[in-house]
Amino acid sequence: MKKTLLRLFFLLFILWLLIGIIINPKLSLNSAADGLITWFNIIIPSLFPFFIVSELLIGIGFVEFIGSFLEPIMKSLFNAPGTGAFSFSMSIVSGYPVGAKIVSNLRKNKKISKIDAERSICFSSTSGPSFMLGAVSVGMLNNPSIAPLIIYPHYLGAITIGFILRFYKGKKNINPSRNRTINKTNPIKLILQKNFSIGTLLANSVKNSINTITIIGGFIIFYSVITELIFISNMFNRLINLLSSISPICIDHELIKGFIAGLLEITTGCKKIASANIGLINKIIIINFLIGWSGFSIHSQALSFISTTDINGKLYVISKFLHGIFASFYSIILYKLKYNSIIKPSFLPLIPIPEPLYLLKWPTLLISSFKLAMAIPIYMLLLSLILLIIYYLLPQE
């Protein structure tokens, strides 16, 4: 019965969307074009290199190699496999939805257990610093000094989620094949004994990455149209008026619109919150929740990867809601303890017109992303070698 009602609701929603597109063709076309431009100018050059590099590193066994060294750290902190460090690091640098894609690939290739994958994906799905610093702090709030109040709470929230989920199905997570210690005898053989064809691996990596980036583009365009159609619908505006009328305090309409929009798509929601007539710290708290929650647009992208595995998608969505709650909580704590001096009560941000991204900037962004994607494995390799040296120097029983 529950599934039938859900399908009926989905059918009605699609019919409403179709009617909205027919009635408002110009608005639908413009919003779809905006989503397409965002995807082509930003998403492809920013994320495509990370997808290719992660596919290659998983294929050659590098992730398992690094994971064997980082296993003790990840086990003690999150009760997760060492490979979770790779997905978490790539997600921190690149942002949504790279972490979810990497963990899904690891599970699909049976590199980690189901429970390990469910734990890892919940703390390895984060926003990137480029969005929080460049788009939100500078572009929307017009105040680079508040970046710590957005970046730190977000990553602290992800780490908190990982620490909480270390107790998730702890007794059931019995996997004798998981290596809890560093393989000090044959660490290099994890890669050298891997049986793969370089040509096939490259072709599959590029093909899978193209499929992934295309799916992401489709969701971006889809939710761009949905968001704009919702904003002009009478039902939505009546709901905003109703919420304002029953609220015991005066709430700015832009705040309500921004929050509801952010539940669907974080960029649109954060923009509207930034222009709302409320204090800056309140804007930061709400924006941090939306970035941690990530919106149904990001959820749809992540769930499209999760659906190819046996990972619990409901747990992922619940963890993102908790991520938003913790991010807002840490915003208040950090503001009270350290950053209250950078918040000016009279501050009203200016929303600048975004600079158009021309095709000439596309190669620069692509090259920069490739450099970042290659730098993370190098740094992780150095960290792993340091751990290996420490392990050899420690007295053995």
pLDDT for residue 391 is more than 80: no
pLDDT for residue 75 is more than 90: no
**Banded pLDDT at 393 (limits 50, 70, 90):** low
pLDDT for position 287? 94
pLDDT for residue 106 is more than 70: yes
Q: What integer is the mean pLDDT of 96-101?
A: 90
Q: What integer is the mean pLDDT of 41-64?
A: 82
Percent of the chain with pLDDT over 70: 85
Lowest mean pLDDT among 67-76, 150-159, 202-211, 312-321: 67-76
Cβ partners under 8 Å of residue 179, min gap 6: 68, 71
Would you kindly state where each structural domain of the chain is located, as residue ranges?
A: 24-168+186-393
pLDDT for position 353? 42
- Identify which has the larger pLDDT, 196 or 92: 92
The 10s digit of each residue's pLDDT in 166-211 is 888 766 554 544 444 444 445 555 555 566 677 888 888 889 889 9
pLDDT for residue 375 is more than 70: yes
- Could you tell me the two tokens for 204? 């599959």
pLDDT for residue 345 is more than 90: no
pLDDT for position 394? 63
Rounded Cα distance between 46 and 365, Å, is 6
Rounded Cα distance between 51 and 91, Å, is 11
pLDDT for residue 369 is more than 50: yes
Q: What integer is the mean pLDDT of 39-45?
A: 83
Give, as one character, the DSSP assignment of residue 145.
Answer: G
Cβ partners under 8 Å of residue 201, min gap 6: 56, 59, 60
pLDDT for position 284? 92
The C-alpha R_g of the chain, in whole angstroms, comes to: 22
Tell me what the pLDDT averaged over the chain comes to: 81
Which of 173-177, 253-257, 276-280, 359-363 has the largest mean confidence?
276-280
pLDDT for residue 343 is more than 70: no
pLDDT for residue 347 is more than 50: no
Lowest mean pLDDT among 89-93, 139-143, 269-273: 139-143
- Identify which has the larger pLDDT, 222 or 356: 222
pLDDT for residue 376 is more than 80: no
Secondary structure percentages of the chain, helix, strand, coil, to 5: 75, 0, 25
**Banded pLDDT at 344 (limits 50, 70, 90):** low
pLDDT for residue 269 is more than 90: no
Q: What integer is the mean pLDDT of 91-100?
A: 87
* CB 320, CB 161: distance < 8 Å: no
- Reference 262, options 136, 119, 83; nearest CA is 136
Q: What integer is the mean pLDDT of 123-132?
A: 87
pLDDT for position 7? 83
Q: What integer is the mean pLDDT of 320-339?
A: 92
Lowest mean pLDDT among 160-174, 244-258, 279-293: 244-258
Rounded Cα distance between 27 and 10, Å, is 22
Residue carrying structure tokens 């991520």: 323
Amino acid at the residue 310: D
pLDDT for residue 396 is more than 60: no
Rounded Cα distance between 69 and 77, Å, is 14
* Model pTM score: 0.82
- Identify which has the larger pLDDT, 183 or 241: 241
